[in-house]
Amino acid sequence: MQKFIKPSLDYIEQNLKTEIKAEELAEMAGYSVWHYYRLFSQLTGSSVLSYILKRRLDHALGEISSGRKAINVVLEYGFDTYAGFYKAFVKMYGCSPKKYLSIYKNKSEVIIMQEKDLRKILENWNIYAGLKIEDITHTDWETQKKSEWQTWEIGNGYYLKTNERSKMLRNIKIAKALEKQGLMSEFLPIATKSGEDYLDGEDIFLLAEKIGEPPPNRPLSDDEIGRLENNDLREKYSFNLGQGMAKLHKAFKEVQDDVKPDENNLYKQVMEWAMPETKKYNQKYSIGVSEDLFDDYTKNFPALFEKLPKQFIHRNPHGGNIVFENGEMAGIIGFEHYNECNVRLFDIIYSAGELNTQPFEIYLKLLTGILKGYDSISPLTNEEKQSIWYVSLSIAMIFIAYLGEMDEDVTRRNREAIVMLAENKEKFYNII
């Protein structure tokens, strides 16, 4: 992955005073633009747009602090006025350029924390001083990159987190927007003794409650959903999940301008990449899907797609990171590495789990309940209601193309899902 990211970052650094397009970065890296967005976000923790803005702010501040006239510098870096630069800087870093310089003038990039240092930091919160401290490390399964988040488990109930300032502030903004919608997250700050959201110094430190475990604050797996005892319980669960997804989207919409997610065109992604790959698998494994399926998608989805509501989405809301309490969606984890603007339906359908991990009729009832729950808070448009089958098919094809030979079992299940979609299209009409 170093071979992928370093040329991109070098190119960005060398061209900050000119227009930089994600399409040219993706082409240089040899990836489709949507795959490039995904890898870039996972490796940097930022969207391409947000990363470029951050580097422009950093370089402009560096040149201003060296003595150059501020207005000349900010104009060179693409800002219309100094006020525009100042506003963007405060939004990114949560403080003025002057304060930022005073804090970070001599700061090292590497944070090495001893237990005694961590205990000194924890004195800023009203928690028991003797709690066990355990370092938490995480390696992304796809990129094999160790997470940049420095996280310590404090006792059994808290996380202490730190990272680069702009990333910390981004996730705190999202967490507070989620809280307004009644949803928990791992970045919701516990106030310090002085009433601040975080400890602010050379590094930002955040103390937050640990969510997701133990029960009942934990995710519900796809298999457990399928084994729910009766239809009434499934209907209640799925309806509540749909309402939770609507609240999630309301929160993400609120912070969209600050997060600056990358725009992903689902239809182009499928047509230029996922569908050709799926057709190869259709031939290779004799899946038995007629070419009519692909013709239907190509002919009928474009007009609907153009009218679908699009916004900042979670991108990966599944049973492993949706937190439930008393049968209702209570929180969300795992949003810190996703920076994507896409159709709302992607998250809604994705949250129902894989189509073929349970009997089709059960899956359809779960999806119906989720859609109805979502619609009760954020009404679905007519175009969204007509696109449920097409977006479901899109997700299945993307999984096939994305995983390929990496995970043959998941790829096989999505091949089977496409067959079920082909055989049951009419059941997706008037689903809601």
Task: Using DSSP, state whether 330 is helix, strand or coil.
Answer: strand
DSSP state of 187: T
pLDDT of residue 145: 53
Task: Give me the residues paired with residue 12 across strands.
Answer: none
Task: Using DSSP, state whether 263 is helix, strand or coil.
Answer: strand
320, pLDDT greater than 90: no
135, pLDDT greater than 80: yes
Nearest CA-CA partner of 419 in 281, 280, 287: 287
What average pLDDT does the segment 309-315 reach?
96
353, pLDDT greater than 90: no
Report which secondary-structure segment, H or E, holds 301: helix 291-306
State which of 58-67, 143-152, 325-334 shows the largest mean pLDDT.
58-67
Query: Domains of the chain (ranges plus CATH)?
Result: 2-104 (1.10.10.60), 115-209 (3.30.200.20), 218-428 (3.90.1200.10)
| Structure confidence by residue, pLDDT tens digits, 10-37 | 999 999 999 999 999 999 988 888 888 8
| Structure confidence by residue, pLDDT tens digits, 201-228 | 878 999 999 986 533 434 445 555 555 5
Q: Tell me how far CA of residue 94 lies from CA of 78, 170, 244, 387, in angstroms.
A: 21, 10, 29, 40
Q: Tell me how far CA of residue 112 lies from CA of 116, 152, 200, 205, 426, in angstroms.
A: 12, 13, 17, 14, 58
Are 121 and 199 in contact by the 8 Å Cβ rule? The answer is yes
pLDDT of residue 45: 84
Beta carbons within 8 Å of 164's beta carbon, 6+ residues apart: 45, 148
Beta carbons within 8 Å of 227's beta carbon, 6+ residues apart: none
What average pLDDT does the segment 82-91 reach?
95
Return the percentage of the chain with pLDDT > 70, whole number: 89
146, pLDDT greater than 90: no
Higher pLDDT, 240 or 416: 240
DSSP state of 425: G
140, pLDDT greater than 80: no
| Structure confidence by residue, pLDDT tens digits, 40-84 | 988 888 999 999 999 999 999 999 999 999 999 999 999 999 999
Residue 197 identity (one-letter amino acid)? D
**Do strands 262-263 and 340-343 pair parallel, antiparallel, or not at all (unpaired)?**
parallel
What is the CB neighbour count within 10 angstroms for residue 108?
8
Task: Using DSSP, state whether 140 is helix, strand or coil.
Answer: coil
pLDDT of residue 217: 39
173, pLDDT greater than 70: yes
- Tell me whether the omega of the peptide bond preceding residue 302 falls within 30 degrees of 0, making it cis: no
